[in-house]
């Protein structure tokens, strides 16, 4: 049975402690000009600010394609949308309607007004920020934990805890296809060309299907343990996977070979995000920092300190700003810590 990455503890992710280095992990000797330039930028923009978003922990954050809005989904059964104004997030709206936790959400790839949420209540909901209303509720067969919108905007894929992936027509809101998998499906994604569909699974494999035919193309043994998350870089050159072995692997999209891996995290990798230019990769886990690597070398570019495990990271689509959310404790445990905040890293130190 599939489990949302946000809900996974170290034991669920097949690991009880620090991960080990893979033999092909390599780091270059001297920093590149890009790394030095970004480190210089972050030295003056290393501030992280917190913004109250929800009354319980935040499972998912995502930016609209134009970068004007950030959406968050929470265990409190709601989604929130913020407007990015200069150096802060201003809460615009809270979206209610789901009867259970909102585990994942994503925006339409080219329409900055539409986003979709996946919930444990066996529905997905499409929302329009112009009217602040739910424009469609689609009933599905199980508790939904994964969702993605195809690059052409025509299809929404949703995965549930029973490892069923349903393909929904984004215009008619009807199911076009449904696939039951015999393995634990963790995360799902189209490639940027929209002609292949990728799934990461509990056996450490990446399964690739043709799209729209949904015929098996290839299965890659990516990791020795549970392969948790997958992201494609905006340039279409690479995709990255994160695993319970605490490694992030970078793959060549055309050759389907692993070109390098990043090994600075010690705990299962829950979440990944490429920067808008495809040159930085953020990865996070139960480690109390987010690793920011240069994609081309694997070099550490920066690390963002956190006080608790990180569930979700998302680079802004135009700027070096990273939104993220952690397993914030509420007043019962530590009265100084707010539950359900969204955080933004990369703000000017003097803001």
**If you ran DSSP here, which 8-state letter would residue 195 be given?**
S
Name the nearest CA neighbour of 297 among 210, 244, 238, 350. 238
Read off the pLDDT of each residue in 153-177 and give the average, rounded to a whole number: 97
Looking at residue 334, its pLDDT comes to 55
Residue 25 has pLDDT above 80, yes or no: no
Residue 90 has pLDDT above 70, yes or no: yes
Worst-scoring range by mean pLDDT, 122-126, 145-149, 232-236, 328-332? 328-332
38-73 b/e (C-beta count within 10 Å ≥ 16 → b): bbeebeebbeeeebebbeebbbbbbbbbebbbbbbb
pLDDT tier, 18 (very low <50, low <70, confident <90, very high otherwise): very low
Residue 35 has pLDDT above 60, yes or no: yes
Residue 337 has pLDDT above 90, yes or no: no
Q: Does residue 210 form part of some domain?
A: yes
Asked whether the bond before 212 is cis by omega within 30 degrees of 0, the reply is: yes
Q: How many CB atoms lie within 10 A of CB 88?
A: 13
Radius of gyration of the chain (CA): 19
Residue 305 has pLDDT above 60, yes or no: yes
Q: Does residue 283 form part of some domain?
A: yes
Contact (Cβ atoms closer than 8 angstroms) between residue 57 and residue 339: yes
pLDDT tier, 10 (very low <50, low <70, confident <90, very high otherwise): very low
- In angstroms, rounded to a whole number, what is the distance separating the alpha carbons of residues 235 and 276? 8
Enter the pTM of the model: 0.91
Instruction: At 172, list the tokens.
Output: 């008619």
Q: Does residue 351 form part of some domain?
A: no
State how many domains the chain has: 1
Contact (Cβ atoms closer than 8 angstroms) between residue 351 and residue 332: no
CA distances from 65 to 18, 50, 142, 268, 276 (A): 36, 22, 29, 28, 10
Domain range enclosing 321: 33-345
Q: Does residue 138 form part of some domain?
A: yes
Three-state DSSP class for 35? helix
- In angstroms, rounded to a whole number, what is the distance separating the alpha carbons of residues 129 and 113? 5
The CATH number that applies at residue 308 is 2.130.10.10
Contact (Cβ atoms closer than 8 angstroms) between residue 340 and residue 331: no
Looking at residue 24, its pLDDT comes to 46
Read off the pLDDT of each residue in 218-222 and give the average, rounded to a whole number: 95
Q: Does residue 83 form part of some domain?
A: yes
pLDDT tier, 351 (very low <50, low <70, confident <90, very high otherwise): confident
Q: Does residue 265 form part of some domain?
A: yes
């Amino acid at each position: 049975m599939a489990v949302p990455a946000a809900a996974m503890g170290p034991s669920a992710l097949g690991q009880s402690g620090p991960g080990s280095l893979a033999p092909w992990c390599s780091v270059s000797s001297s920093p590149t000009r890009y790394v030095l330039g970004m480190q210089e930028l972050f030295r003056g923009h290393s501030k992280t600010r917190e913004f109250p978003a929800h009354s319980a922990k935040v499972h998912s954050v995502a930016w609209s394609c134009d970068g004007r809005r950030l959406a968050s989904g929470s265990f409190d059964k709601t989604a929130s949308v913020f407007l990015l104004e200069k150096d802060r997030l201003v809460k615009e709206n809270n979206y209610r309607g789901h009867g259970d936790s909102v585990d994942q959400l994503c925006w339409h790839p080219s329409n900055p007004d539409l986003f979709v949420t996946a919930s444990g209540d066996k529905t997905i909901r499409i929302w329009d920020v112009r009217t602040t209303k739910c424009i469609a509720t689609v009933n599905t067969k199980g508790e939904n934990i994964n969702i993605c919108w195809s690059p052409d905007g025509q299809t929404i894929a949703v995965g549930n805890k029973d490892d069923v992936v349903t393909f929904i027509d984004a215009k008619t809101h009807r199911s076009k296809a449904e696939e039951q998998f015999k393995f634990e499906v963790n995360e799902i994604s189209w490639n940027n060309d929209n002609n292949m569909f990728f799934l990461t699974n509990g056996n450490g494999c990446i399964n690739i299907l043709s799209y729209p035919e949904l015929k098996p193309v290839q299965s890659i043994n990516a990791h020795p343990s549970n392969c948790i998350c997958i992201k494609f870089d905006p340039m279409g050159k690479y995709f990255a996977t994160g695993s319970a072995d605490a490694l992030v692997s970078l793959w060549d999209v055309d050759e389907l070979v692993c070109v390098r891996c990043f090994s600075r995290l010690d705990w299962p990798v829950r979440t990944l995000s490429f920067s808008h230019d495809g040159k930085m990769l953020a990865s996070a886990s139960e480690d109390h920092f987010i690793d920011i690597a240069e994609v081309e070398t694997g070099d550490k570019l920066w690390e963002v300190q956190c006080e608790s495990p990180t569930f979700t990271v998302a680079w802004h689509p135009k700027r070096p700003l990273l939104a993220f959310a952690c397993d914030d404790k509420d007043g019962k445990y530590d009265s100084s810590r707010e539950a359900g905040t969204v955080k933004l890293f990369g703000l000017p130190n003097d803001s």
